[in-house]
Structure 1
Amino acid sequence: MPAIVDASAETALARTRRARRIVRILGELHPDARIALNFSNPLELLVATVLSAQCTDKKVNEVTPAVFAKYPTAASYAGADREELERQLRPTGFFRAKANSLMGLGAALVDRFDGEVPHRLDELVTLPGVGRKTANVVLGHAFDTPGITVDTHVGRLSRRFGLTTNDDPVKVEADLVALIERRNWTIASDRMIFHGRRVCHARRPACGACGVAKLCPSFGEGPTSAADAARLIRGDAEAAR
Structure 2
Amino acid sequence: MIKQERVGYILKRLGELYPRPPIPLDHADAFTLLVAVLLSAQCTDVRVNQVTPALFQLGRTPAALAAAPLEKIEAIVRPCGLGPQKAKAIKMLSGMLLAEHQGQVPASLEALERLPGVGHKTAQVVMAQAFGVPSFPVDTHIHRLAQRWVLTTGKSVLQTERDLKRLFPEESWNRLHLQIIYYGREHCTARGCDGTVCEICRTCFPERQKSLRTRRA
When normalised by structure 2's length, the TM-score is 0.89
Residues of 2 paired with 1:205 and 1:31: CA distance?
A: 23
1:101 to 81, 85, 89: 89
Matches within 5 A, 1:55-204: 55-204=43-192
Amino acid at match of 1:153: H
Amino acid at match of 1:58: V
Q: Match of 1:54? A: 42
Q: Give the 3 Å change call, closer, same or farther, for CA 216–115 of structure 1 in structure 2.
A: farther
Q: Give the 3 Å change call, closer, same or farther, for CA 161–112 of structure 1 in structure 2.
A: same
**Equivalent residue of 1:208, what SS?**
coil
Q: Give the 3 Å change call, closer, same or farther, for CA 217–161 of structure 1 in structure 2.
A: farther
**Equivalent residue of 2:22, what SS?**
coil
How far the C-alpha of 1:215 sits from its partner, in A, is 2.0
The RMSD of aligned alpha carbons is 2.1
How far the C-alpha of 1:91 sits from its partner, in A, is 1.5
Instruction: Say which structure, 1 or 2, has more relative contact order (CA 8 Å, 6+ apart).
Output: 1
**Equivalent residue of 2:134, what SS?**
coil
Q: Give the 3 Å change call, closer, same or farther, for CA 113–17 of structure 1 in structure 2.
A: farther
Residues of 1 paired with 2:41 and 2:158: CA distance?
A: 17
1:38-87 Cα distance to aligned partner (Å, 9 max, x none):
11100000000001111111111111112112112112222220111111
Query: Does 2:6 correspond to 1:18?
Result: yes
Q: How many pairs does the alignment contain? A: 211
Unaligned regions of 5+ residues in structure 2, if any?
none
2:30 to 42, 61, 64: 42
How far the C-alpha of 1:219 sits from its partner, in A, is 4.4
2:16 to 28, 47, 59: 28
How far the C-alpha of 1:209 sits from its partner, in A, is 4.1
Q: Percent identity?
A: 38
Residues 23, 191 of structure 1: 8 Å contact kept: no
Query: Does 2:208 correspond to 1:215?
Result: no
